[in-house]
Chain A
């Protein structure tokens, strides 16, 4: 009896909270008059459909009224919901397919629609060839015009067709420089202020690396890069840049200097986010296969927001990287079809990779006295083969033991490929962060794979026979590109271009070596500053949280079309 009373008490408490000011124990209370779930036509429809099924099969089904009257709703599932790691948000696998997730789409849109274009070449043309004066005032004027033109507003010529501003509100241009004096002279609305956006140490390094140059961070409309492709971005932007120079500096549209400005904007001064790919891949620049891992680790901004947690910063790269490279690039661009979501999400759900990686951090701290929470080049361990082997072995053995000791973890990652990717990633990240050397991290990945294969006599699917069992020999010894090897490789590096569950992790291993050293950037200071922009639709400092927001329909993307389609 006591149990029933307690249960009823809790039920009444809940009712009282919901219907404040009403006597919930009265049978004629107001809340009964709402008609409960029957207010909702959709629920009425469900109940009607459910009745029909029940009549057919003889087993009860959807019954919200009864359920609310004290029964326990019980369901059965073969698929589990996942927590997007580090977010507390539980989602279905379907919620993490990029077609169903607006945040995932926007992350890729925001990269594809971005180019960085230097202003120095153009300014030299204007000053030295045409004798025009370039001052902060003229630059401001130019930026006003450019932010009118870039989304599709007409300049120079009359009777031009324009785009509806409501469709292209995500398109704009800001500028940045390492010259704080110049930055202070420009209109704040147009400036990515390195000093304000980055922690002091990082800001100092970035400003020094960018120097006196002035760069434009350009984001063309999402709708445009979706309708066309990544190769469009620099073209769309160059055309509007040319027009804006003509207008801002009162040039004649036909004069020869325009060609120089165009050349600078289209070719000489452009930083693409991704290089174009060989003909057999049939993709232009700014498509995922051409993003170098060093650039990708600069695009992701978690190390800016969490400079004292290189592990988290790296795990964010894993999440973003597996989404872009596995789900979108390999899954759909390359293989075609619905893709490899299930496999990719293993690396950024249920905190499993996180746990393995933080174990590695603790191990490095205990054994090698690396104060990973205060990243600096000073206490990095020399990456000898012996130390790489030690770190990779310990992290791998621990991860395997976790799977063995917690059978539900093994069932969560029911396929060898999921386990292999996660175990090797934790080994690589640990080694990178501890040594500050991405080659060492990649080498650790491959030892992890070999250990895993021999311990359990199984690894991933057939492809692992190639990529992961020959990797030891190509992770340190490529003489021709010994400098910045991981940073300059990308998804189309021959040995990396075949297996899901690798590229995002490789990118993170590359990034983590820099995060572990406390570097301000991995490969490109320009890219790092460009994606620190708080006006971007996607927050690149929190990719996993953004994906979770997408899964629960709380992420607002760009690419609005309701203005031009019939109302529903």
Chain B
């Protein structure tokens, strides 16, 4: 019987959103448009239009050893070209940001190839070949996994995920990489590591509270869905824990 992933338990909207983000069979809703050049500016790894710096010659130009794994696994575009490994890192507010650290990692593992994600409490980083990164970043920014006010693209100085929002609804950023303009549009004025940009990069309007509550993947009893109310989810975690405890004894299957 073929394994059919279920992408996690739960009856709440939070659980549903988690499954939707993870499931590569579901198309993520595109909420905004950001140009390729703008993505490159925010990432800050190379100047727009410049060639991709490389870590090794393109695979086609170098002798590949006779390796069965290499024959099975098709290299990504970035790997094929010999790109450097670069990163994008997100800080997600606990006040209903649409994606959250582990959720991002799970989602990326299901949807992307050739990646190395790292998950912490205040930030989540994903590393991969540069041209793959730009493609993935576009998806992470343009779709319902992103919100201009509650998600920060921050390579360093990430403090903010656990703080109250500012009066204008923006998550705190010590380096104020993104600002909410009077026109209601959020613009990045610095790249992800905090270097000022020559021109501001617009990433759209912040989503409203209702949308956020309906699209978030974090439980929150004050501003969103209470974890306690998703009984199925809690019971499932208990079940996993109980089974892991029991299987620590290496029981024999009857």
Binding site for B on A (CB under 8 A): 385, 389, 393, 397, 400-401, 404-405, 407, 410-411, 413-417, 419-420, 443, 446-447, 450-451, 453-462, 465, 470, 472-479
Contact = CB atoms under 8 A, between A and B. Distances in A.
A482 to B, nearest CB: 10
Contacts of B218: 455-457
Contacts of B222: 404-405, 407
B248 A415 contact: no
Given A411-B164, A414-B159, A416-B120, A389 B249 contact: no
Interface in B194-225: 217-223
Nearest to B219: A455
B119 A458 contact: yes
Nearest to B123: A458
18 contacts: A393-B238, A400-B221, A401-B221, A411-B162, A415-B121, A415-B162, A446-B241, A447-B241, A455-B218, A456-B100, A457-B18, A457-B100, A472-B248, A473-B245, A474-B248, A476-B249, A477-B245, A477-B250
Interface in B85-121: 94, 100-103, 118-121
For the complex of A and B, the 6 pairs showing the least CB-CB separation, nearest first, are: A416-B121, A477-B248, A457-B100, A473-B248, A472-B244, A455-B227
A451 B234 contact: yes
B247 interface: yes
B228 interface: yes
A473 B121 contact: no
Contacts of A415: 121-122, 162
A120 B246 CA distance: 46
A454 B164 CA distance: 22
Given A447-B238, A450-B237, A410 B245 contact: no
Chain B interface extent, by class: 35 or more
Contacts of A404: 220-223
Contacts of B246: 385, 477
A76 to B, nearest CB: 15
A443 B245 contact: yes
Contacts of B162: 410-411, 413-415
A457 B240 contact: no
B245 A475 contact: yes
Contact of B238 (A389, A405, A473): A389
Given A404-B221, A411-B162, A457-B102, A477 B249 contact: yes
A497 B100 CA distance: 28
Contacts of B119: 458, 462, 465
B245 A458 contact: no
Interface centre among B101, B244, B247 (most CB of A within 10 A): B244
Interface centre among A419, A454, A462, A479 (most CB of B within 10 A): A454
B245 A385 contact: yes
Contacts of B237: 447, 450-451, 454
Given A389-B241, A416-B121, A462-B120, 17 more contacts: A385-B245, A404-B220, A404-B222, A410-B162, A413-B162, A415-B121, A415-B122, A420-B121, A454-B233, A456-B100, A458-B122, A461-B120, A472-B244, A472-B248, A473-B244, A477-B248, A477-B250
Given A405-B222, A447-B238, A450-B240, A417 B245 contact: no
Contacts of A458: 100-102, 119-122, 161
A401 B219 CA distance: 10
B55 interface: no
Interface string B135-171: 0000000000000000000000001011110000000
A414 B120 CA distance: 13
B100 A473 contact: no
Interface in B11-50: 18
Contacts of B120: 416, 458, 460-462
A475 B245 CA distance: 7
Contacts of B247: 473
A457 B21 CA distance: 13
Nearest to B251: A477
A33 to B, nearest CB: 50
Contacts of B217: 457
A478 B245 CA distance: 10
B77 to A, nearest CB: 29
Contacts of B220: 404
Given A397-B227, A458-B120, A453 B241 contact: no
Contacts of B248: 472-478
A420 B246 CA distance: 24
